[in-house]
């Protein structure tokens, strides 16, 4: 009985998080799946088959997320930083903004952090716990702090699955 109540509670909670995202984002396409506390900003554009498992967008910068995106638990996309070049030390009251673009078929592992101004290329995979501080090319598998590319997807295999429409 407790298991059924817990499952029902989480389903209701996830529907709530999905409604919050739909009301907050600039544009989205179904299906949109939200499995865990997730938040976006008003400058967020979501492709179809986006899957959030606990992703939060911090700041007011623009975020574009392509189709078939998956995030692990505890991911953060940071779109603004304090202005350290302003008129006070360590920073002033103004912000610097950087757009984040995540292309189609990208998977972010658990607790990945993406900093402002980053583009993550199509088909890329970012290893859990990584901090993305520079652009990641298409089909790359990257990880670490800072994230660096350590492997490439098999592009022939990737393209075959894409052509066949086999998306999770």
Residues designated catalytic? 82
Phi-psi map region of 17: left, alpha, beta (phi>0 left; psi -120 to 50 alpha): alpha
- Nearest partner of 122 among 53, 68, 63, judged by Cα: 68
Rounded to 5 degrees, what angle do the CA atoms 164, 104, 139 make? 85
Token pair 């992703």: residue? 55
- List beta partners, residue 118: none
């Amino acid at each position: 009985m407790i298991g059924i109540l817990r499952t029902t509670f989480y389903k209701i909670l996830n529907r709530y998080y999905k409604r919050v995202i739909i009301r907050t984002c600039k544009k989205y396409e179904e299906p949109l799946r939200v499995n865990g506390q997730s938040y976006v900003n008003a400058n967020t554009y979501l492709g179809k088959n986006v899957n959030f498992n606990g992703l939060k967008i911090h700041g007011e910068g623009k975020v574009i997320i392509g189709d078939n995106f998956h995030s692990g638990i505890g991911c953060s996309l940071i779109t603004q930083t304090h202005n350290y070049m302003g008129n006070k030390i360590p920073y002033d009251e103004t912000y610097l903004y950087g757009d984040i673009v995540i292309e189609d078929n990208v998977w972010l592992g658990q607790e990945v952090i993406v900093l402002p101004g980053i583009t993550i290329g199509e088909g890329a995979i970012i290893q859990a716990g990584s901090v993305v501080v520079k652009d990641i090319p298409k089909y790359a598998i990257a990880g670490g702090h800072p994230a660096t590319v350590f492997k490439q997807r098999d592009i022939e295999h990737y393209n075959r699955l894409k052509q066949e429409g086999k998306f999770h």
